[in-house]
Amino acid sequence: MSSLNLDDFTDLIERPDGGVRRAAEARRERQVVPPGSLGRLDDLGEWLAAAQAAVPVRPVERPRVVLFAGDHKVAELGVSARPAGSAGELVRAVLEGGRPVSVLARQLGVPVRVVDMALDCDPGTLPAEVVRHRVRRGGGRIDVEDALTLEEAEAAFRAGVAVADEEADSGTDLVVLGDVSVGGTTAAGVLVAALCGTDASVVTGRGGLAIDDLAWMRKCAAIRDALRRARPVLGDQLRLLATVGGADLTAMTGFLLQSAVRKMPVILDGVVTAACALVGQRIAFRAPDWWLAAHDSGEPGQAKALDRMALEPLLAQGVRVGEGTGGLLALPLVQAAASLAADLPARPEDPENPENAEAAEGAEQPAGSGEGA
């Protein structure tokens, strides 16, 4: 039996400060541009102020991309356009700067951290910092066997918690969370279908490389079979992750929950992070208040999960590549919202405008009533 008590997160996670959010809203009402005229940027600025417990909101100066990586044996069924066991190649490409997330991260000046949880490759082919949290090599084929043992699931979850603590302790003020996996969207579909009580066909998408109809049917069948194995363990979230999740998804769930404990905002990328967030919501209902949905990838499982958590995507560009790419696209929008909330001046007639306040103070003081009179 696991020694990890997930119920503790319910007590540890608080909502972003409501009083600070109301103060941010009041400040916004006094600014030169009328409230509502900036659309969702107003909501974003107020959300960030509440998350930071700061008015005016501070700029997002130390964001970071964190990618959890793993291979899923279910990819052997032909559910992905990529060969089973090839996620390690993607990780090396990310590290060498040859993936979309690498290009965007360079442009935006955001560091990228990759955490290998279950890649099916020799750990010696990757930097020690990448592989130090690895739980196992690859994951079980979830349609017929568990992805992890319960002990491995606990280790993966604790690794995700540790990574969140490392980021918070280093001063990271916002995380773009993503995955680097082959077969990960299949595992994510199982989690979403299980937690939303829906059928496999409702959550089965075509993945990052848009699989053909035959592969989609194989993927749908794999999710259906894994779903049968998931339903009996729905009451135990760690066992659910061990049964049909995998080390990377389990670690992401731990990371999301501990980020909420540490009051570190997270931008969710695609369907895999959304599925992990949905598990996190089941564990601690206040946790989604610390997360933003970056974009609508077009994956039906992502849409289902975000709807259940009442998270509305910021962008709709149809980006399916994963790896935090969509999350990075949304980052400048969050940074822009913070700048506007902090730097827009108050209306000239506002007595809280320092220049106007000084003028008003001088006008209200009668002649001859100064201290020297």
Characterise 367 by phi-psi region: left (phi > 0), alpha (psi -120 to 50), beta (else): beta
136: its two tokens: 């196992």
Active-site entry in 323, 355, 358, 371: 323
Contact 257, 280 (CB under 8 A): yes
Active site annotation includes 323? yes
Query: 3-state SS of 301-350?
Result: HHHHHHHHHCCCCCECCCCCCCCCHHHHHHHHHHHHHHHHHHHCCECCCC
The neighbour count for residue 366, using CB atoms within 10 Å, is 8
DSSP codes, 117-176: EE-SS-GGGS-HHHHTT---SS---TTTS-SS-HHHHHHHHHHHHHHHHHHHHTT--EEE
Contact 178, 266 (CB under 8 A): no
Alpha-helical runs (H) found in 170-204: 184-196, 200-203
Please tell me the distance from the alpha carbon of residue 7 to that of residue 284, in angstroms, as a whole number: 7
Specify the 3-state DSSP secondary structure of 63.
strand
Cβ contacts of 229 within 8 Å, gap of 6 or more: 142, 143, 146, 243, 244
Q: Which residues of 95-117 are buried (b: 16+ CB within 10 A; e: fewer)?
A: eeeebbbbebbeeeebebbbbbb
Please tell me the distance from the alpha carbon of residue 149 to that of residue 21, in angstroms, as a whole number: 43
Site of tokens 């993503």: 178
Specify the 3-state DSSP secondary structure of 85.
coil
342: its two tokens: 């902090």
- Start-to-end CA distance of the chain, whole Å, equals 82
Which are the catalytic amino acids?
Answer: 323
